[in-house]
Amino acid sequence: MSKEIIRSIKGTQDILPDKSNRWQALESTIHKTASKYGYKEIRTPAFERTELFSRSVGEETDIVSKEMYSWIDQGGEKLTLKPELTASVARAYIQHNLGGLRPVNKLYYIDALFRRERPQKGRYRQFHQFGVEAFGSEHPEVDAEVIALALSIFNSIGLDELQLKLNSIGSPQCRKDYRDAIREFLKPHFSNLSETSQKRFNNNPLRILDTKVPQEISILEDAPNISNYWTDDDKVHFEELLTYLDYINIDYKLTPRLVRGLDYYTRTTFEITSSKLGAQDAICGGGRYDGLVESLGGKPTPGIGFAAGMERILLAMNKDSSKNSQVQIYIVGIGQSVQSAIIKLAEDLRRINIATEFDVIRRSLKAQLREANKIGAKYALLIGDQELKSKSVELKNLSSGDQEKVELNKIIEHMNSLSY
Ligand code: HAM
């Protein structure tokens, strides 16, 4: 009787070998660019205490109220698989007193996150983010640097048709006043609001600004603008940021309704969207969180960061930028007596950093050549009894078809002299 196969969980994905090179290319660009900007990598555990997220991201947010994978472990602790990284990084920053070691800490990460959302294209239950968090400066220089870093990564991997949406949601006092103003404005429209928005009216009225319901969008057209509630310092901060962005030629679209769905934000908020994606078009979201470290028990420390969804980036990227095989040489063996010579040759080539593969299922010459082409090898190295006897091999350039005889004991030297 055949056994039923076990499938992966809905909303999770396997990254199969034909896709992993695109992930590696993206990861390598992230590491290079982050280090160019002076950011250092931080890695945090896959799960944390549930309280970390309820206190920082906020009880009333979608993430905390309905999307977290949480459980009580055998020791009675309430634990949660990370739904985002800013809270974990802030926790680590406080726990290891990074702020005491240096005034400014610029950190970046690449990690897997978990949210129980309704899966669709670009929205998964396990997904990956890269992001940065810069602690220690309240000044808009860092806001500009963080935005420039995100765009630099997107430009390096050839992402275009992007739009930077920018807003400031001001200091806590500004947000409190604005929240009251939005409530006041929406009161006469309450009965026309969706059930979700009616709930948000009390708990988190700013989230209503995020609505996708057409009727609510039209109600909100005349809603008060947050800029009228900025303090003088909020205004100066935002204007300075705009000056810096203009100065480094970064285009932005002022988006007064961009409030973002997490509670820790203060002042600058931003999103980068791609017109190449459908409904889930935000490839990156971020902002300032000047009160976060303090709210988690640390010393008052300003901070700003962003995170970008890697699955979405890859969806928006040109597919053919991934066509790049690692394999430079495929050794084609003719007859079985050559196997030990092939194993040795492959090891010698790998030792001088030439990627090399050979056939391990003893296929015919024709099938081996087909495989060499299929995996994108640059050269096929043909070796049979006759070649062994004459201590030479045939080296075939698979793109030009040119073939030459090379002495076996000169092959390493010869390959080294070729440019790849
Ligand atoms: P977020 O807006 O929740 O912000 O997520 C950032 C990005 O992660 C989104 O723009 C999207 O590209 C990706 N993303 C989110 N949820 C999913 C999902 N279910 N499937 C696929 N991709 C997804 C944060 O997480 C903040 N921690 C960002 C931040 C860092 N703010 C300051 N520092």
Write the single-letter amino acid at 55: R
Give pLDDT, residue 207.
86
pLDDT > 90: what percent of the chain?
80
Q: Does 229 sit in the ligand 1 pocket, CB within 6 Å?
A: no
Q: Decide if pLDDT at 322 tops 50.
A: no
Domains defined for the chain, CATH in brackets: 17-171+230-316 (3.30.930.10), 329-417 (3.40.50.800)
Give whole-number Cα distances, 219 to 118, 182, 202, in Å: 27, 12, 18
Q: Does 170 sit in the ligand 1 pocket, CB within 6 Å?
A: no
Q: Does 311 sit in the ligand 1 pocket, CB within 6 Å?
A: yes
Q: Which residue, judged by its Cα, is nearest atom 20 of ligand 1? A: 123
What number of other Cβ atoms are within 10 A of residue 11's Cβ? 17
Beta bridge partners of 407: 392
Positive/negative CA dihedral, 22, 25, 29, 35: positive
Reduced to 3 DSSP states, what percent helix, strand and coil does the chain have, rounded to the nearest 5?
45, 20, 35
Q: Does 82 sit in the ligand 1 pocket, CB within 6 Å?
A: no
pLDDT > 70: what percent of the chain?
98
Digit-coded pLDDT (tens) for 26-65: 999 999 999 999 999 999 999 999 999 999 999 988 999 9
Q: Are 398 and 377 in contact (CB under 8 A)?
A: yes
The residue count of the chain comes to 420
pTM, rounded to two decimals:
0.90
Q: What is the DSSP letter of 386?
A: H
Digit-coded pLDDT (tens) for 364-376: 999 999 999 998 9
Q: Which helix (H) or strand (E) holds 417?
A: helix 411-417
360 alpha carbon to ligand 1 midpoint, in Å?
A: 43
Q: Does 58 sit in the ligand 1 pocket, CB within 6 Å?
A: no
- The tokens 């190449």 sit on which residue? 276
Beta bridge partners of 330: 357, 380
Cα gap 293→300, rounded to integer Å: 6
Cα gap 309→6, rounded to integer Å: 28
Q: Are 39 and 47 in contact (CB under 8 A)?
A: no
Give whole-number Cα distances, 272 to 56, 163, 284, in Å: 23, 5, 5
Write the single-letter amino acid at 6: I
Digit-coded pLDDT (tens) for 199-248: 889 888 988 998 888 999 999 999 999 999 999 999 999 999 999 999 99
Closest atom of ligand 1 to CA, residue 313: 12
